[in-house]
Amino acid sequence: MRLRSVELELPQSDAAAGFLSGAWGLLDAGKRGKTTFLRGTGDHGYIISVTEAAVFGIASVTFSGSGEEVAGVAQRAKAAKVPHQPIQSFDEPGNGHGFVLEGLEGQIYRFIAETQPVAKLPDDLKRPIQLTHTVLNSTDREACVRFAEQVFGFRISDRTQAMSFLRCNRQHHAVAYVKSDICSLNHIAFEMPNLEAVMLGIGRMRDNGVPLVWGPGRHGPGNNVFGYFVAPFGGIIEYTSEVNLVDDDYPVGKPEDWTWPPGRSDQWGHSLKDMARAETAERQYRFRPAVIPA
Protein backbone atom coordinates (compact mmCIF):
# COMPACT_ATOMS: atom_id res chain seq x y z
CA MET A 1 0.00 0.00 0.00
CA ARG A 2 1.20 3.52 -0.83
CA LEU A 3 -0.06 7.06 -0.65
CA ARG A 4 -0.95 7.76 -4.28
CA SER A 5 -2.42 11.25 -4.60
CA VAL A 6 -4.30 14.19 -3.16
CA GLU A 7 -7.25 15.71 -5.03
CA LEU A 8 -7.81 19.45 -4.59
CA GLU A 9 -10.62 21.80 -5.66
CA LEU A 10 -9.99 25.51 -6.04
CA PRO A 11 -10.67 28.66 -8.04
CA GLN A 12 -8.22 29.52 -10.85
CA SER A 13 -7.05 25.92 -11.11
CA ASP A 14 -5.24 26.58 -14.40
CA ALA A 15 -2.85 28.93 -12.59
CA ALA A 16 -2.27 26.29 -9.90
CA ALA A 17 -1.58 23.66 -12.55
CA GLY A 18 0.82 26.04 -14.26
CA PHE A 19 2.81 26.51 -11.06
CA LEU A 20 2.86 22.79 -10.25
CA SER A 21 4.00 21.83 -13.75
CA GLY A 22 6.40 24.74 -13.93
CA ALA A 23 8.49 25.87 -10.99
CA TRP A 24 7.41 23.01 -8.70
CA GLY A 25 8.58 20.41 -11.22
CA LEU A 26 5.63 18.08 -11.84
CA LEU A 27 4.68 16.69 -15.24
CA ASP A 28 1.38 17.11 -17.06
CA ALA A 29 -0.64 13.88 -16.89
CA GLY A 30 -3.71 15.00 -18.81
CA LYS A 31 -7.06 16.58 -18.21
CA ARG A 32 -10.63 15.34 -17.70
CA GLY A 33 -13.24 18.10 -17.85
CA LYS A 34 -12.38 20.68 -15.18
CA THR A 35 -9.64 18.54 -13.61
CA THR A 36 -5.93 18.68 -14.40
CA PHE A 37 -3.72 15.75 -13.33
CA LEU A 38 0.00 16.02 -12.59
CA ARG A 39 2.55 13.27 -12.02
CA GLY A 40 6.05 12.89 -10.65
CA THR A 41 8.84 10.70 -11.99
CA GLY A 42 7.54 7.66 -10.10
CA ASP A 43 5.18 4.98 -11.39
CA HIS A 44 1.86 6.56 -10.38
CA GLY A 45 -0.36 7.91 -13.16
CA TYR A 46 -0.65 11.12 -11.17
CA ILE A 47 0.08 12.37 -7.65
CA ILE A 48 -2.03 15.53 -7.41
CA SER A 49 -5.06 16.84 -9.25
CA VAL A 50 -6.58 20.32 -9.28
CA THR A 51 -10.24 20.82 -10.19
CA GLU A 52 -11.86 24.16 -10.96
CA ALA A 53 -14.34 25.05 -8.21
CA ALA A 54 -15.90 28.09 -6.61
CA VAL A 55 -14.35 27.44 -3.20
CA PHE A 56 -11.20 25.79 -1.85
CA GLY A 57 -11.54 22.18 -0.79
CA ILE A 58 -9.82 18.83 -0.53
CA ALA A 59 -11.88 16.26 -2.41
CA SER A 60 -9.95 13.18 -1.27
CA VAL A 61 -6.73 11.53 -0.17
CA THR A 62 -5.98 8.44 -2.28
CA PHE A 63 -4.01 5.30 -1.47
CA SER A 64 -3.13 2.61 -3.97
CA GLY A 65 -2.35 -1.03 -3.40
CA SER A 66 -2.77 -4.53 -4.72
CA GLY A 67 -6.25 -5.90 -5.30
CA GLU A 68 -5.86 -7.98 -2.15
CA GLU A 69 -4.80 -4.99 -0.04
CA VAL A 70 -7.66 -2.82 -1.28
CA ALA A 71 -10.17 -5.64 -0.74
CA GLY A 72 -8.88 -6.07 2.81
CA VAL A 73 -9.59 -2.43 3.64
CA ALA A 74 -13.07 -2.76 2.14
CA GLN A 75 -13.79 -5.83 4.26
CA ARG A 76 -12.69 -4.09 7.43
CA ALA A 77 -14.76 -1.02 6.54
CA LYS A 78 -17.82 -3.19 6.00
CA ALA A 79 -17.29 -5.01 9.31
CA ALA A 80 -16.95 -1.67 11.12
CA LYS A 81 -20.05 -0.28 9.32
CA VAL A 82 -18.02 2.57 7.87
CA PRO A 83 -19.74 4.37 4.97
CA HIS A 84 -18.01 3.39 1.72
CA GLN A 85 -18.93 3.15 -1.93
CA PRO A 86 -17.41 0.69 -4.44
CA ILE A 87 -16.15 2.17 -7.72
CA GLN A 88 -15.77 -0.26 -10.61
CA SER A 89 -13.57 2.01 -12.70
CA PHE A 90 -11.86 5.32 -11.89
CA ASP A 91 -11.70 7.58 -14.95
CA GLU A 92 -8.27 9.05 -14.25
CA PRO A 93 -4.60 8.33 -15.04
CA GLY A 94 -3.76 4.87 -13.73
CA ASN A 95 -7.43 3.83 -13.90
CA GLY A 96 -8.22 0.98 -11.52
CA HIS A 97 -11.03 -0.05 -9.22
CA GLY A 98 -11.67 0.31 -5.51
CA PHE A 99 -13.86 2.41 -3.26
CA VAL A 100 -14.43 5.75 -1.57
CA LEU A 101 -14.62 5.83 2.22
CA GLU A 102 -15.66 8.47 4.75
CA GLY A 103 -13.51 9.07 7.82
CA LEU A 104 -14.61 9.98 11.33
CA GLU A 105 -14.55 13.73 10.73
CA GLY A 106 -15.81 13.74 7.16
CA GLN A 107 -12.43 13.05 5.59
CA ILE A 108 -12.74 11.40 2.19
CA TYR A 109 -10.29 8.59 1.44
CA ARG A 110 -10.05 6.53 -1.73
CA PHE A 111 -8.40 3.12 -2.01
CA ILE A 112 -7.54 2.04 -5.55
CA ALA A 113 -5.96 -0.98 -7.21
CA GLU A 114 -4.44 0.68 -10.26
CA THR A 115 -4.68 -1.25 -13.52
CA GLN A 116 -2.61 1.02 -15.77
CA PRO A 117 0.56 2.08 -13.93
CA VAL A 118 2.96 4.28 -15.84
CA ALA A 119 6.65 3.71 -16.40
CA LYS A 120 9.00 5.22 -13.85
CA LEU A 121 11.13 8.03 -15.25
CA PRO A 122 14.78 8.67 -14.36
CA ASP A 123 15.31 10.68 -11.18
CA ASP A 124 15.65 14.40 -11.84
CA LEU A 125 16.90 16.84 -9.20
CA LYS A 126 14.29 19.36 -10.37
CA ARG A 127 11.30 17.01 -10.15
CA PRO A 128 9.41 15.26 -7.32
CA ILE A 129 9.20 11.48 -7.49
CA GLN A 130 5.93 10.90 -5.63
CA LEU A 131 4.06 11.95 -2.52
CA THR A 132 5.76 10.87 0.69
CA HIS A 133 2.94 11.80 3.05
CA THR A 134 0.04 14.08 3.71
CA VAL A 135 -0.81 15.57 7.09
CA LEU A 136 -4.38 16.30 8.17
CA ASN A 137 -5.61 18.55 10.95
CA SER A 138 -8.03 16.74 13.25
CA THR A 139 -10.26 17.58 16.19
CA ASP A 140 -9.63 14.09 17.65
CA ARG A 141 -6.34 12.82 16.32
CA GLU A 142 -6.18 9.70 18.49
CA ALA A 143 -9.64 8.63 17.30
CA CYS A 144 -8.38 9.10 13.73
CA VAL A 145 -5.30 7.02 14.56
CA ARG A 146 -7.44 4.16 15.89
CA PHE A 147 -9.64 4.38 12.80
CA ALA A 148 -6.62 4.19 10.47
CA GLU A 149 -5.22 1.24 12.41
CA GLN A 150 -8.45 -0.73 12.63
CA VAL A 151 -9.99 0.04 9.23
CA PHE A 152 -7.04 0.88 6.96
CA GLY A 153 -4.65 -1.57 8.58
CA PHE A 154 -2.00 1.16 9.06
CA ARG A 155 0.53 1.12 11.90
CA ILE A 156 1.51 3.91 14.29
CA SER A 157 5.17 4.95 14.04
CA ASP A 158 5.54 7.93 16.37
CA ARG A 159 3.67 10.38 18.54
CA THR A 160 4.69 13.89 19.51
CA GLN A 161 2.82 16.43 21.62
CA ALA A 162 0.93 17.62 18.55
CA MET A 163 1.11 14.86 15.92
CA SER A 164 0.60 11.15 15.35
CA PHE A 165 2.40 9.45 12.43
CA LEU A 166 1.13 6.32 10.65
CA ARG A 167 2.65 4.12 7.96
CA CYS A 168 1.22 1.79 5.34
CA ASN A 169 4.56 0.35 4.18
CA ARG A 170 8.17 0.64 5.33
CA GLN A 171 8.29 4.43 4.96
CA HIS A 172 7.99 6.01 8.39
CA HIS A 173 4.67 7.69 7.64
CA ALA A 174 2.19 8.08 4.81
CA VAL A 175 -0.34 10.09 6.82
CA ALA A 176 -0.20 12.02 10.06
CA TYR A 177 -2.84 13.73 12.16
CA VAL A 178 -2.34 17.05 13.95
CA LYS A 179 -4.28 18.19 16.99
CA SER A 180 -6.50 21.08 15.87
CA ASP A 181 -9.91 22.68 16.26
CA ILE A 182 -10.86 21.86 12.65
CA CYS A 183 -10.48 19.05 10.12
CA SER A 184 -8.45 20.29 7.16
CA LEU A 185 -5.40 19.71 5.00
CA ASN A 186 -2.26 20.61 6.94
CA HIS A 187 0.22 19.95 4.12
CA ILE A 188 1.27 17.72 1.22
CA ALA A 189 4.85 16.39 1.08
CA PHE A 190 6.54 15.73 -2.26
CA GLU A 191 9.50 13.36 -2.24
CA MET A 192 12.66 14.60 -3.95
CA PRO A 193 15.56 12.36 -5.00
CA ASN A 194 17.96 13.56 -2.27
CA LEU A 195 19.02 16.40 0.02
CA GLU A 196 20.64 18.26 -2.88
CA ALA A 197 17.31 18.24 -4.75
CA VAL A 198 15.50 19.66 -1.70
CA MET A 199 18.03 22.48 -1.36
CA LEU A 200 17.93 23.22 -5.09
CA GLY A 201 14.14 23.30 -4.87
CA ILE A 202 14.28 25.82 -2.02
CA GLY A 203 16.45 28.06 -4.17
CA ARG A 204 14.19 27.62 -7.19
CA MET A 205 11.15 28.59 -5.14
CA ARG A 206 12.91 31.73 -3.90
CA ASP A 207 13.78 32.61 -7.51
CA ASN A 208 10.06 32.29 -8.32
CA GLY A 209 8.91 34.51 -5.46
CA VAL A 210 7.81 31.68 -3.15
CA PRO A 211 9.79 32.01 0.10
CA LEU A 212 10.13 29.32 2.75
CA VAL A 213 7.60 29.23 5.54
CA TRP A 214 9.78 26.71 7.42
CA GLY A 215 13.16 25.16 6.69
CA PRO A 216 15.54 23.94 5.65
CA GLY A 217 15.59 21.43 8.47
CA ARG A 218 15.53 17.80 9.48
CA HIS A 219 12.57 16.40 11.38
CA GLY A 220 12.80 14.14 14.41
CA PRO A 221 10.07 11.59 13.59
CA GLY A 222 10.91 10.21 10.15
CA ASN A 223 14.34 11.91 10.08
CA ASN A 224 13.45 13.52 6.74
CA VAL A 225 14.86 16.82 5.49
CA PHE A 226 12.31 19.46 4.59
CA GLY A 227 11.42 22.81 3.12
CA TYR A 228 7.84 24.11 3.48
CA PHE A 229 6.11 26.77 1.38
CA VAL A 230 2.73 28.45 1.14
CA ALA A 231 1.73 27.60 -2.42
CA PRO A 232 0.60 30.44 -4.71
CA PHE A 233 -2.82 28.74 -4.72
CA GLY A 234 -2.88 28.45 -0.91
CA GLY A 235 -2.18 25.49 1.31
CA ILE A 236 1.20 24.19 2.45
CA ILE A 237 3.43 22.13 0.17
CA GLU A 238 6.72 20.53 1.15
CA TYR A 239 9.85 19.29 -0.55
CA THR A 240 11.28 16.37 1.44
CA SER A 241 13.75 13.50 1.18
CA GLU A 242 15.59 10.84 3.19
CA VAL A 243 12.56 9.68 5.19
CA ASN A 244 13.38 6.71 7.40
CA LEU A 245 12.47 3.18 6.40
CA VAL A 246 11.29 1.17 9.42
CA ASP A 247 10.56 -2.48 10.16
CA ASP A 248 7.79 -4.16 12.13
CA ASP A 249 9.92 -4.03 15.28
CA TYR A 250 10.30 -0.22 15.14
CA PRO A 251 9.60 1.08 18.68
CA VAL A 252 6.71 3.55 18.71
CA GLY A 253 8.06 6.94 19.73
CA LYS A 254 6.42 8.85 22.58
CA PRO A 255 6.08 12.62 22.99
CA GLU A 256 8.93 12.70 25.50
CA ASP A 257 11.21 11.14 22.87
CA TRP A 258 10.79 14.19 20.63
CA THR A 259 11.65 17.34 22.56
CA TRP A 260 13.91 20.20 21.54
CA PRO A 261 15.79 22.98 23.35
CA PRO A 262 13.99 26.33 23.59
CA GLY A 263 13.87 28.09 20.24
CA ARG A 264 14.36 24.91 18.23
CA SER A 265 11.74 22.81 16.39
CA ASP A 266 13.85 20.27 14.47
CA GLN A 267 17.21 18.49 14.59
CA TRP A 268 19.22 21.17 12.81
CA GLY A 269 17.76 24.22 14.53
CA HIS A 270 18.48 26.62 11.66
CA SER A 271 14.98 28.00 11.18
CA LEU A 272 11.68 28.59 12.91
CA LYS A 273 8.26 28.11 11.36
CA ASP A 274 6.47 31.30 10.28
CA MET A 275 3.35 30.48 12.26
CA ALA A 276 1.34 33.50 11.13
CA ARG A 277 1.61 32.56 7.46
CA ALA A 278 1.45 28.81 8.00
CA GLU A 279 -1.62 28.64 10.23
CA THR A 280 -3.82 30.43 7.72
CA ALA A 281 -2.67 28.18 4.87
CA GLU A 282 -3.12 25.04 7.00
CA ARG A 283 -6.82 25.84 7.41
CA GLN A 284 -7.61 26.77 3.81
CA TYR A 285 -8.45 23.36 2.34
CA ARG A 286 -11.26 21.51 4.08
CA PHE A 287 -13.01 18.32 3.01
CA ARG A 288 -16.15 18.96 1.04
CA PRO A 289 -19.35 17.20 2.13
CA ALA A 290 -19.86 13.87 0.39
CA VAL A 291 -22.81 11.51 0.32
CA ILE A 292 -21.51 7.97 0.77
CA PRO A 293 -23.98 5.16 1.43
CA ALA A 294 -23.64 3.56 4.87
Q: Domain check: are 228 and 175 in the same one?
A: yes
Whether the full predicted model's pTM is greater than 0.85, yes or no, is: yes
Q: Is residue 292 in a domain?
A: no
Q: Domain check: are 108 and 154 in the same one?
A: no
Q: What is the pLDDT along the chain (294 residues), one digit of tens a residue?
A: 999 999 999 999 999 999 999 999 999 999 999 999 999 999 999 999 999 999 999 999 999 999 999 999 999 999 999 989 999 999 999 999 999 999 999 999 999 999 998 999 999 999 999 999 999 999 999 999 999 999 999 999 999 999 999 999 999 999 999 999 999 999 999 999 999 999 999 999 999 999 999 999 999 999 999 999 999 999 999 999 999 999 999 999 999 999 888 888 899 998 889 999 999 999 999 998 765 765
Q: Domain check: are 190 and 269 in the same one?
A: yes
Count Cβ atoms below 10 Å from residue 9 Cβ, excluding itself. Answer: 21
Cα gap 96→130, rounded to integer Å: 18
Q: Give the CATH number for residue 37.
A: 3.10.180.10
- The set of long-range contacts for 85-88, using a CB threshold of 8 Å and a minimum separation of 24, is 85/292, 85/293
Beta strands (DSSP E) in the chain are 2-10, 27-32, 35-39, 48-52, 57-64, 84-87, 97-102, 108-113, 130-138, 155-159, 163-167, 175-179, 184-191, 212-218, 225-230, 236-241
Q: Domain check: are 146 and 235 in the same one?
A: yes
Q: Domain check: are 182 and 237 in the same one?
A: yes
Q: Domain check: are 66 and 94 in the same one?
A: yes
CA distances from 87 to 70, 77, 94, 110 (A): 12, 15, 14, 10
| Boundary of a domain, candidates 87, 113, 139 | 113
Structural domains of the chain, count:
2
| Boundary of a domain, candidates 65, 83, 113 | 113
Q: What angle do CA 60, 66, 71 make, to 5 degrees?
A: 75
Do residues 166 and 103 make contact, with C-beta atoms less than 8 angstroms apart?
A: no
Q: Is residue 122 in a domain?
A: no
Q: Is residue 235 in a domain?
A: yes
Cα gap 280→278, rounded to integer Å: 6
Residue range(s) defining the domain that contains residue 87: 2-113
Q: Domain check: are 103 and 208 in the same one?
A: no
Cα gap 148→229, rounded to integer Å: 27
Cα gap 272→231, rounded to integer Å: 18
Q: Domain check: are 56 and 175 in the same one?
A: no
The verdict on whether omega for the bond into residue 216 sits within 30 degrees of 0, i.e. cis, is: yes
The residues near 178 (Cβ < 8 Å, ≥ 6 apart) are 135, 136, 137, 138, 141, 162, 163, 186
Q: Is residue 247 in a domain?
A: yes
Q: Domain check: are 105 and 143 in the same one?
A: no
Cα gap 113→95, rounded to integer Å: 8
List 190's β-bridge partners, or say none: 131, 239
pLDDT of residue 117: 87
